[in-house]
A = this chain, B = another copy of it.
Amino acid sequence: MPKEKELVFGHKNPDTDAVSAAIAYSYLQNKLGYNTEAVALGEPNLETKFVYDHFNVKYPRIISAINGEVKKVMLVDHNEEQQSVSDIRDVEVTHVVDHHRIANFETKLPLYYRAEPVGCVSTIIWEMYLEDEIEIPSQIAAIMASSIISDTLLLKSPTTTEVDRDALKSLSETAGIDYESYGLEMLKAGTNLDSKTTQELIDMDAKSFDMNGTNVRVAQVNTVDVNDTLKREDDFVNDIKAENDKNGYGLFVLLITNILTSDTTGIIIGTDDAVAKFETALNTKVSDNKAALPGVVSRKKQVVPPLTEQFD
């Protein structure tokens, strides 16, 4: 009897890892006897589009809700329910592979959960392929390597671990790519911000966090020229204010990260109290809605934990 079908997916506003980890994990699980399909919770961003075009990989089917299609799902690269499909509470989560904190996540039944504090979920899935002695197809190795480059900013983010380095090296060999030159090309492709409206940019890689009752939104864009990006500062500010009003965000943080210098400029808009908490948490000063965040490149490691701590 064939196994009951399950969907595998990463978080909303998918980045390269969210989609590629879903594809890689679905392939692995199917080899192990499951019946799964990888799907994505949104359109590809610029970087992901470059990656999938470059390696001629088909982007998965896009869904926003399960709508009764399956009863069971597997999550990669997220666990918090506000980052998942809208009706996640109506299905059973049987597997999770993630590298984030655990929060706003609860199950009725025991499940498979594999988390490691590494730079990229594709790194963990690479370990699982090794443990299960399953060969990684070249195309899947290529999108997994791209995910590690993306999540670790070519191994420069402070989230990078030895295992991420080993995984990127091994996957690049399998895929036949020179990750240094390919990686820079790929990251630059993701910074072509001019083709996007400011509204699209503040939503593209944004995540919501419930911080002790305050709805906090943290978005991030990568660039090679912060001043060029800030030419549209007034538009960013107006769009963020409208988003806060519309969605009840108490705080919106837009991280504009220079991938060449590994620094960030933040646009921070929210209630006075929330902005003050941001200043204390990040040890910076918000002036004219902007804050310098030198050395900050990782939302997950350098922004969300001190901010959560401050709100608690």
Q: Are B106 and A111 in contact (CB under 8 A)?
A: no
Pick the interface stretch among A94-102, A168-176, A222-230, A267-275. Answer: A94-102
A66 contacts B by Cβ under 8 Å:
no
Tell me, yes or no, whether A158 is within 8 Å of chain B by CB. Answer: no
A102, A105, A113: which has the most chain B beta carbons within 10 Å? A102
User: Is there an interface contact between B109 and A112, defined as CB atoms closer than 8 Å?
Assistant: no
Give residues 297-312 of A contacting B (CB, 8 Å).
Answer: 300-301, 305, 308-309, 312
Most chain B beta-carbon neighbours within 10 Å: one of A102, A106, A110, A300: A110
* Bound CA span A99–B110, Å: 6
Smallest distance from the beta carbon of A304 to chain B beta carbons, Å? 8
- In the complex formed, the residue of B with least CB distance to A89 is B312
**What are 5 A-B residue pairs whose CB atoms fall within 8 Å in the complex?**
A102-B111, A109-B117, A110-B115, A110-B300, A113-B115
Do B113 and A113 touch (CB < 8 A)? yes
Contact B112 A309 (CB under 8 A): no
Shortest beta-carbon distance, A98 to chain B, in Å? 8
Q: What's the least CB distance linking A254 to chain B, in Å?
A: 22
Chain B residues within an 8 Å CB radius of A131: 131
Contacts of A108 in B (CB 8 A): 101, 305, 308-309, 312
A242 at the interface (CB under 8 A from B): no
Which residue from chain B places its CB closest to the CB of A79 in the assembled complex? B102
A220 to B: closest C-beta gap in Å: 17
Q: Is A107 an interface residue (CB 8 A)?
A: yes
The answer on a CB contact under 8 Å between A114 and B114 is: yes
User: By the criterion of a CB under 8 Å from any partner CB, how many residues of chain A are at the interface?
Assistant: 26
Q: Quick check: is A70 within 8 A (CB to CB) of the other chain?
A: no
Docked CA distance A117–B92 (Å):
13
Residue A116 lies at the interface, judged by CB distance under 8 Å to chain B: yes
Q: Return the chain B residue nearest A119 by Cβ.
A: B110
Q: Are A110 and B100 in contact (CB under 8 A)?
A: yes
The 8 Å CB contact of A102, one of B106, B305, B308, B309, is: B106
When the two chains form their complex, are residues B103 and A106 in contact, meaning their CB atoms are under 8 A apart? yes
**A112 B106 Cβ-Cβ under 8 A:** no
Q: Would you call A109 and B115 a contact (CB within 8 A)?
A: no
In the assembly, what is the distance between CA of A110 and CA of B116, in Å? 7
Other-chain contact of A107, B101, B109, B110, B112 (Cβ < 8 Å):
B101
Least distance between A113 CB and chain B CB atoms (Å): 4
Complex: chain B residue closest to A116, CB-CB:
B112
Which residues from B are CB-within-8-Å of A112?
115-117
Given contacts A112-B116, A113-B113, A115-B113, contact A103 B99 (CB under 8 A): no
Chain B contacts of A305 at CB under 8 A? Answer: 108-109
Please give me the residue from chain B that is nearest to A105 by CB atom. B102
Q: How far is the CA of A312 from the CA of B117 in the complex (A)?
A: 32
Contact B106 A110 (CB under 8 A): no
- Contact between chains at A115 and B106 (CB < 8 Å): no
